Structure 1
């Protein structure tokens, strides 16, 4: 097919097929690479548990439905983004200068849902309508295993159709396009062999159906491209920048030249795939760490008779120690540190230390030895030696308890869970201690008193508006005094601040529930969906339906992020009693929720913003 024929078909139908653009050898390498990506061998994936050596490739693959930005992990995927046959077609359709901004690896196994009708341009907005997808089949894509379906010619009007929530069990929880002048009977299945590529326009309506095969995958690598001559206003513009000048610069040039190369290209390390299993030690030091267990050295428990000692010894690895009963004295250099239950001790490699246990009663202590990689060795000398496990909001006590349960019961996959738990324990230990339970915010007393009344007023879960006179009465000051206090501290009056708090309550309900707009409006104290939508748009700059369809990383910032209003939100939380917190840290029932990026949001219909998941086009 000539370039002219390609362009004619593309302009008429909105899509075309590049038969066998990659040979089976190239496809096989990508399939193997997908396994390595999912196992975490090429880098950590946000929200994914590390794969254990006992996990089969099938076990690992079935944990995922989609991995975003795999080209940032794999040189092979990046090279495929620039595959000569694909780029040749793109330059014929788009022009000589082409850039890519996104890659997605889909792994849809049997029983997994499809995605409802949608247009990619709704999620990735270009200014010149040049958005083009290249959908590379890594398995034969059939109607049975969930191939693409398209509405030929639906791109030609250049209209972005409205989106809405749906409850069709055939599809995942991404919104669906509706109110377009086409019927399902106009749809065409795009069945292609492994190695073939579907190239389609960003305005083309398309969908996929569930994988109804008995056993097997429908894997695909999907890349999105556009003209390098167009700006890409993808996301909220930086402060002081107009939307018309916004240009997403985390791109890959695949053909020609970049007219905007003078701009700073910004690699967005926190997108999609980004980095669980690693985390920052401090706010200023962004070095990343990962953790591994030392074989046969915990997590476990040791019992010592009265008067036992250990050492001096040279520590060969990191070690957490916490007492469960009894007492001990830890000695290192000129430091003599008494230990009691409720304290967590961190021992570092190279320390020459010793233990002296309680001379009168038996002592039981828990321990886990581990290694750290990826951190600054010179900075560990400044790390704390001991942390208190009680009376604070840190989860360290519960994490210690869960580690011991994993080491004792050894449930399937326990080592992977132990690594994740230990990593979080290390990061929490190294962070600044959380405020003690019940510590009041440093806010003016009238503000604190007013917020206590607001918390009581909203105790049934509905954030109703509260008249100014009632707010002032609760603060025990005049309305004018309360207004001055709020404006000096937050830049807005108390009634406006309360409305912002009510609107921000809608964020998790929009992203993590199937509630209707009317139901969300009621929860936020608005009379109906119309008034809620009008006020939401005024504050966030977009309708709540558009906000719901946006990925969290591209959504407008919370209005509480400015002026210190987040401190008000913290006062709305129910008070935590020290006694209850101590009981929890001392060892409540084990159980840390584990997010499985493949199934959890599909089963519940909720969007897990913490996995870096976004409603991306397929």
Structure 2
């Protein structure tokens, strides 16, 4: 369980680092192994009709993943993410990763124990979730630079509440940021503005000239959050955060997962949530990874070929974003 002093720190600062929440061997290694298999499969079969990619069997899984990203100019990323895209059209065969190890991470008891301390015992796994692989900035392909920067490169300043629909404005959303390898200032760890959650939801820009919260709104007080595998960064939905550029020679690999109370809107109603924990009705918890995967495939069928759901909180013509 979370130490009460950490909960007080979270309320005051808008974030907290839970040290050694997860066991790297039992919680993270199965996910890494599952991704190693997925990367090998994509390399053998090719991506979007492209040629097979030769991988170094002796390289670490994160390095094989980075090599596949580089050789496919980032086109493999959607097949390895754990949600459907928001920016691109959804097709009947839009790929995503729905492996049982990821499902078990979403339902990890130690993680849910910590989440329960923030939002209570009736916990939805919120579908606003991603796998992230941040390659070295020097290795980002010009061919796919916009895609790579948006999804896997330097993260713009934002608040998580800004990427959900307005019906979830009062939802007790909690983000859990989980590193699969060391996240350092050199390879692009998270960056936060302590206490910024008390400022409420601020204007975000989404224009060709600027995305996210403008720097002059963010201010100068910015704190990097280096963490190790097993640690979890918990973020308030209104904390301003970004990430540093990856100036190292290796990759930074992480998951960002979100949870919300079972009786509150998720802010992404067209994607499937599931009951990860319930003290009042444990029999309703989803425990079958196959059923979880099927729910995402059903959502894909429903959304395929239709105009993707959109929401716009702010006027893109706002002079602040020029």
| Bin of the TM-score, shorter chain as denominator length | 0.5 to 0.7
Q: TM-score, normalised by structure 2?
A: 0.67
Q: Does 1:145 align with 2:187?
A: yes
Separation in structure 1 between the aligned mates of residue 106 and residue 217 of structure 2, nearest angstrom: 34
Separation in structure 2 between the aligned mates of residue 30 and residue 233 of structure 1, nearest angstrom: 26
Contact kept? 2:161, 2:201, Cα under 8 Å: no
Separation in structure 2 between the aligned mates of residue 162 and residue 98 of structure 1, nearest angstrom: 28
Q: TM-score, normalised by structure 1?
A: 0.37
Instruction: Provide the secondary structure at the position in 2 that maps to 1:86.
Output: helix
Tell me: CA distance 1:50–1:73, structure 2 relative to 1, closer, same or farther (3 Å): farther
Correspondences of 1:101-500 after superposition (within 5 Å) = 101-102=126-127, 103-111=129-137, 112=140, 113-125=153-165, 126-165=168-207, 167=209, 175-178=211-214, 182-183=218-219, 185-213=220-248, 215-234=249-268, 247-248=269-270, 250-256=272-278, 267-269=295-297
Contact kept? 1:39, 1:60, Cα under 8 Å: no
Contact kept? 2:126, 2:266, Cα under 8 Å: no
Q: Which structure has the bigger radius of gyration?
A: 1
| Structure 1 match to 2:37 | 36
Tell me: CA distance 1:188–1:543, structure 2 relative to 1, closer, same or farther (3 Å): closer
Separation in structure 1 between the aligned mates of residue 207 and residue 154 of structure 2, nearest angstrom: 15
How far apart are residue 130 of structure 1 and its match?
Answer: 1.2
How far apart are residue 10 of structure 1 and its match?
Answer: 1.1
Tell me: CA distance 1:51–1:28, structure 2 relative to 1, closer, same or farther (3 Å): farther
Separation in structure 1 between the aligned mates of residue 239 and residue 189 of structure 2, nearest angstrom: 16
| Structure 1 match to 2:21 | 21
Instruction: Provide the secondary structure at the position in 2 that maps to 1:33.
Output: helix
Separation in structure 2 between the aligned mates of residue 51 and residue 85 of structure 1, nearest angstrom: 41
How far apart are residue 51 of structure 1 and its match?
Answer: 7.6
Give ranges in structure 1 of 5+ residues lacking alignment: 169-174, 235-246, 284-506, 512-539, 547-618
| Structure 1 match to 2:8 | 8
How far apart are residue 227 of structure 1 and its match?
Answer: 1.2
How far apart are residue 163 of structure 1 and its match?
Answer: 2.0
RMSD: 3.7
| Structure 1 match to 2:116 | 91
Tell me: CA distance 1:23–1:177, structure 2 relative to 1, closer, same or farther (3 Å): same
| Deviation per residue, 1:258-277 (Å, 9 max, x gap) | 8xx8xxx9934387xx69xx
| Greater RCO, CA 8 A, separation 6+ | 2
Tell me: CA distance 1:52–1:267, structure 2 relative to 1, closer, same or farther (3 Å): same
Separation in structure 1 between the aligned mates of residue 40 and residue 51 of structure 2, nearest angstrom: 5
Q: Does 1:60 align with 2:33?
A: no
Separation in structure 1 between the aligned mates of residue 98 and residue 135 of structure 2, nearest angstrom: 22
Give ranges in structure 2 of 5+ residues lacking alignment: 57-63, 84-95, 141-152, 285-291, 318-322
Tell me: CA distance 1:209–1:53, structure 2 relative to 1, closer, same or farther (3 Å): closer
Separation in structure 2 between the aligned mates of residue 209 and residue 2 of structure 1, nearest angstrom: 27
Q: How many residues align?
A: 257
Instruction: Provide the secondary structure at the position in 2 that maps to 1:156.
Output: helix
Contact kept? 1:161, 1:179, Cα under 8 Å: no
